[in-house]
Structure 1
Amino acid sequence: MKNKINKKAYLDAYSLTEILIVLAIIGILLMMVLPNQTSVVAQARSIEAQKMLNHLYGLEKSYNFRFSKYSSSFEELGFEQETTIDQGGQAVYKIEIIDASVNTFKARAISIKDFDDDGNYNTWEIDHRKILLETVKD
């Protein structure tokens, strides 16, 4: 009976040093991968700007067919700017109409967030010919 009391049960486990080494390796791998992912995030977010500018283009063309001019008023066009992230919404781009005249119009989408913290804010523009350009890359 005395023999059973003196035996200690050991469990196979990893030491704290082994766990820290694995976590350090995972951290290093993440640091190598994350900088490459910021461009993917910026590209995905730019789809939002392109979508909204293409929608605005369609509204401008429709307005032009009805009134033979382009409008600089979102209200006249029926365009509603989505609530931006700084106002509690989800939109990352602010849309503005730069120029609207009888024959031409130009609209711009400016990011309100710097995706890669380089000081540049992604900007897209569209005009009456439906030329969609990224004027400032982030």
Structure 2
Amino acid sequence: MKSYLNKKVPALNLQEMLIVLVIIGILLLIALPNLMPLIAKTQAIEAQTQLKAIYNAQTTYRYMYAKYSPEMTALDYEAPRTVNENGNANYSYELLEATNASFKARATAITDFDGDGVFNVWEIDENGNPKQIVKD
């Protein structure tokens, strides 16, 4: 039984492990600027999806009451909690205007995705097509 205890197992030592971590870190620093547009694009999908949900809620409201709702609370829609509220959403949502025949809702980014000081803004209207108003 003692022969199992004395058997050496091939492994990396601490220096080799640190070299591997440094190489991975350098590769990440090189790749990160190229990945920033993809990160911003995936964040924009969140805004488009939530604006479509608002559009669907407004359409349902219009079928029921023959007008669009000027209040977000009247819709069967609950906006996700933002990262400022310990949630996951990167956008805040609001209704800009609502009449009998039209409405406009806006999603405004609460975080600057690429660090340039410009916050992404999306809008949707009664036609149901999200439009990017301010590009981040």
Question: What one-letter code is carried by the residue in structure 2 that aligns with 1:91?
Answer: A
The one-letter code sitting in structure 2 at the alignment partner of 1:34 is L
TM-score by length of 2: 0.81
The correspondence of residues 102-113 of structure 1 with structure 2, limited to 5 A, is: 102-113=100-111
Q: Please, which runs of 5 or more residues in structure 1 have no aligned partner?
A: 1-12
Identify the residue that residue 82 of structure 2 maps to in structure 1. Answer: 84
Q: What is the number of equivalent residue pairs in this alignment? A: 125
CA drift of 1:28 comes to 3.9
Structure 1 residues 67 and 27, CA gap change in structure 2 (3 angstroms): same
When structure 1 is superposed on structure 2, of 18-27 and 41-50 the one drifting more is 18-27
Which one-letter code corresponds to 2:88 in the other structure? Q
Task: Specify the alignment match of 1:98 in structure 2.
Answer: 96
1:41 corresponds in structure 2 to: 39
Q: Report the AA paired with residue 105 of structure 2.
A: A
> 1:116 and 2:114 equivalent?
yes
Q: How does 1:1-138 map to 2 (within 5 A)?
A: 26-138=24-136
What is the deviation of 1:29?
3.0
Percentage of identical aligned residues:
42
The separation in 1 between residues aligned to 2:58 and 2:45, in whole angstroms, is 20
Q: 1:100 to 1:21 in 2, by over 3 A?
A: same
State the alpha-carbon separation in 1 of the partners of residues 39 and 98 from structure 2: 32
> What residue is the counterpart of 1:4 in the other structure?
none
Letter in 2 for 1:108: R
Larger radius of gyration: 1
Structure 2 gaps of 5+ residues are: 1-11
What do residues 67-87 of structure 1 show as CA deviations (whole Å, max 9, x unaligned)? 111112122112111111001
